[in-house]
C-alpha cells in the first residue's frame, strides 16, 4: 500500500482567537469603555487636586504646565481632575437614568403583555404619545420646565425612555404567555402577580437589558448635551458638557 502523505497546512499570520472570530471591534470597544470607567472610579488616586478648588493665580495654564497635566481652566481648576471627576458624575447619572426606565418599562410591559385588555390599550396609547415627539426635544422641554439638576434629568429621561423597554418586554411577554408552563402555573392555582414576577419577568428582562447597553450611550449624549446648554448638572459639580461649554 502506498503511504498517504498529508501536506502541512499553510500558515498565515498569527492572530488571537477573538480577532479570528471577527470580534475585534467588540473587544476594542470594551477596552476603551473599561479604561474610562476605571479612570472615573479611581479618580482620587490619579490626581492630587480637587475638581472644584479654584486658584485664579494659575488660571488658563497651558497643557504640560508643571503640576497640571492638561493645564487649568479660566478659574484655575485642574483640567485633568475635572475630566476624571466629570466622568464619574456623568457615568453615575447615566447609570441611574438607565436603571429607572428599565424597571418602569419592564413592569409595565410585563403587565400589558400578560393581562392585555384596556390596561394594554391605555399604556400603549400613552407610549405612542411619548414617541410622537423627538427624544431630545421632549427631554430638553421637561428639564426646562422642571428645572436643572440631577433629579430633573432622572425624571425627564425616565418619562421618555420607559417606552422602548415596555414595548420590548410586552412583545416577549405576549409570546411567553402562550407557553405551556404558563398554563400549568395558572391551573396549579399560582397567583397572576406571582407568575409575572417569578416566570414572566425573569424570562423577558434579558432583551431589555441588551437594549439598555445601547441606551447608556444615548443617555451620556443627553446628559452632556443638557449640561452644554446649561440645563444639566449644576456647577460647580464637574461635568463634561460644562467643560465643553467653557
Percent residues over pLDDT 90 in the chain = 23
E strands in 49-120: none
Please, are residues 113 and 169 in contact by the beta-carbon 8 Å criterion? yes
65 bridge partner residues? 68
78 bridge partner residues? 72
Separation of CA 38 from chain center: 16
Predicted pLDDT of residue 22:
54
Indicate if the pLDDT at residue 12 is higher than 50: no
68 bridge partner residues? 65
Phi, psi of 42 (to 5 degrees): -100, 30
* Residue 47 CB neighbours (<10 A): 18
- Cβ-defined contacts of 2-6 (< 8 Å, 24+): none
What's the rounded Cα separation, in Å, for the pair 154 and 102?
12
The mean of the pLDDT values for the chain is 84
Indicate if the pLDDT at residue 2 is higher than 80: no
Q: How does pLDDT run across 137-178, given as a tens digit for each residue?
A: 899 889 888 888 888 899 999 999 999 999 999 999 999 888
Phi, psi of 23 (to 5 degrees): -105, 25
Amino acid at each position: 500500500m502506498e503511504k498517504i502523505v498529508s501536506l502541512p497546512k499553510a500558515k498565515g499570520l498569527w492572530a488571537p482567537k477573538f480577532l479570528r472570530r471577527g470580534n475585534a471591534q467588540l473587544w476594542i470597544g470594551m477596552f476603551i469603555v473599561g479604561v474610562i470607567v476605571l479612570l472615573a472610579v479611581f479618580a482620587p488616586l490619579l490626581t492630587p487636586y480637587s475638581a472644584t478648588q479654584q486658584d485664579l493665580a494659575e488660571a488658563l495654564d497651558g497643557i504640560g504646565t508643571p503640576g497640571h497635566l492638561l493645564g487649568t481652566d479660566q478659574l484655575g481648576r485642574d483640567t485633568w481632575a475635572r475630566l476624571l471627576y466629570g466622568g464619574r458624575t456623568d457615568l453615575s447619572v447615566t447609570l441611574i437614568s438607565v436603571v429607572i426606565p428599565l424597571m418602569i418599562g419592564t413592569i409595565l410591559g410585563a403587565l400589558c403583555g400578560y393581562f392585555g385588555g384596556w390596561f394594554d390599550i391605555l399604556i400603549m396609547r400613552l407610549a405612542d404619545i411619548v414617541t410622537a415627539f423627538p427624544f431630545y426635544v421632549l427631554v430638553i422641554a421637561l428639564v426646562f420646565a422642571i428645572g436643572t439638576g440631577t433629579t430633573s434629568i432622572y425624571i425627564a429621561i425616565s418619562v421618555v425612555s420607559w417606552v422602548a423597554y415596555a414595548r420590548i418586554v410586552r412583545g416577549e411577554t405576549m409570546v411567553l404567555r402562550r407557553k405551556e408552563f404558563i398554563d400549568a402555573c395558572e391551573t396549579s392555582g399560582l397567583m397572576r402577580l406571582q407568575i409575572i414576577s417569578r416566570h414572566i419577568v425573569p424570562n423577558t428582562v434579558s432583551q431589555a437589558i441588551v437594549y439598555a447597553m445601547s441606551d447608556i450611550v444615548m443617555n451620556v449624549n443627553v446628559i452632556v448635551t443638557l449640561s452644554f446648554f446649561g440645563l444639566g448638572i449644576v456647577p460647580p459639580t464637574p461635568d463634561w458638557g460644562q467643560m465643553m461649554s467653557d
